[in-house]
Amino acid sequence: RLRAFSRLQVILQHLKMFKQTDSTAEVLLEKKGGAGIITLNRPKALNALNLPMIQQIYPQIKTWEQDPETFLIIIKGTGGKAFCAGGDIRAITEAGKVGDKLTQDFFRGEYRLNNAIGTCKKPYVALIDGITMGGGVGVSVHGHFRVATEKTVFAMPETAIGLFPDVGGGYFLPRLSGKIGYFLALTGCRLKGRDVLRVGIATHFVESEKLPALEKDLIALKSPSKEKIADLLNSYHKKCTIDQEKEFALGEHLEKINSLFSANSMEEIVKKLKQDGSPFAVKQLETINKMSPTSLKLTLRQLREGASMSLQEVLQMEYRLSQACMKGHDFYEGVRAVLIDKDQSPKWKPATIEEVSDEFVDNCFKPLGNDDLKL
């Protein structure tokens, strides 16, 4: 009897160890029932994606896609604050300063993962509870289903750090209704809760505390089709009344957004905002004036071109842009001002949109030959 007890203790000790090492992993990959589950597990870093995480998730998605016993893939974050607040920008900055090839490997790996999600044959369900920005949008928005909650905060804030809304932003942003995607991309505007659903970033809206039950029900589905999964998500979505009476934050401004952000150049957009002079236009102008002029010009062209491209073509274009940004000035200056020194006063070079030449912009979009992204 004593022997059985000590054996039990050994087993428990083993389980404890396994759980400890497991729970410290930056990404947890597990199979429950017919579901493959990806859990982003860097709560202190708001689940920001780094290269090792990307390198674990990508092959796992490919494996599950081929596995006849896996019927759907679920991705979520830990910690209650964020689904995924972006990519590991600090690591990329450090690498870029010393010419380390992480600046190529990271973007290449991340965009390949975005493409794997966008082309995944198995239903892919992202539970975007909490902060969902940049790289977090990339691992959710290209999948079949995106479930937002009252805690979801969406943004593509890249123009503020000398980058551009990448991870396929050139694909999904211009496809949102009207010019809302252009507005979100250039201003970095944050959307919360139901508004993430209203603009079409999310497909469903469910109360945050109902997510564990929803996940359980998804796992319990027997060999589910995409339709069965949609039915289950719809049933949760219909029952959710939280924030139903809240007005759409951008509702009253939609007409203005569509007319002001429909111009063909940044100079023209700025001119339109100045001429409009309404409180809304003045506010957007103030925001845009803080952004990297280079980023603004790259972003506008990225979205205009991406509007008629496939996801693969967009990611290839964005890889070229990422490498141009890594060689430039504004990305490092933006990260310094926003994330490192936090003085919020970047010194952009060039300092005005007029000084960013068309020739410079053209060069950023040029093919990279053997170094191009291959998907």
Catalytic residues: 87, 135, 158, 166
Query: What sign for the dihedral angle of Cα 181, 182, 183, 186?
Result: positive
Q: Which of 370, 283, 356, 280 is nearest to 320 (CA)?
A: 370
Report how far residue 65's alpha carbon sits from residue 172's, in angstroms, rounded to the nearest whole number.
23
* Token couple for 273: 């905002």
* Residue 219 contacts residue 161 (beta carbons within 8 Å): no
Pairing of strands 131-133, 72-77: unpaired
Question: Which residues lie closer than 8 Å to 143 by C-beta, 6 or more apart?
Answer: 73, 75, 117, 118, 120, 124, 125, 126
Starting at the edge strand found earlier in the chain, the sheet holding 153-155 runs 82-84, 131-133, 153-155, 191-192
**Order of strands, edge to edge, in the sheet holding 145-148?**
27-32, 35-40, 72-77, 124-128, 145-148, 204-205
Residues 6+ apart with CB under 8 A from 172: 141, 142, 181, 201
φ, ψ at 74 (rounded to 5°): -115, 135
For every residue of 206-256, DSSP letters joined together read --GGGHHHHHHHHHH-SS--HHHHHHHHHHHHHH--TTTTPPPTTGGGHHH
| Residue type for position 69 | E
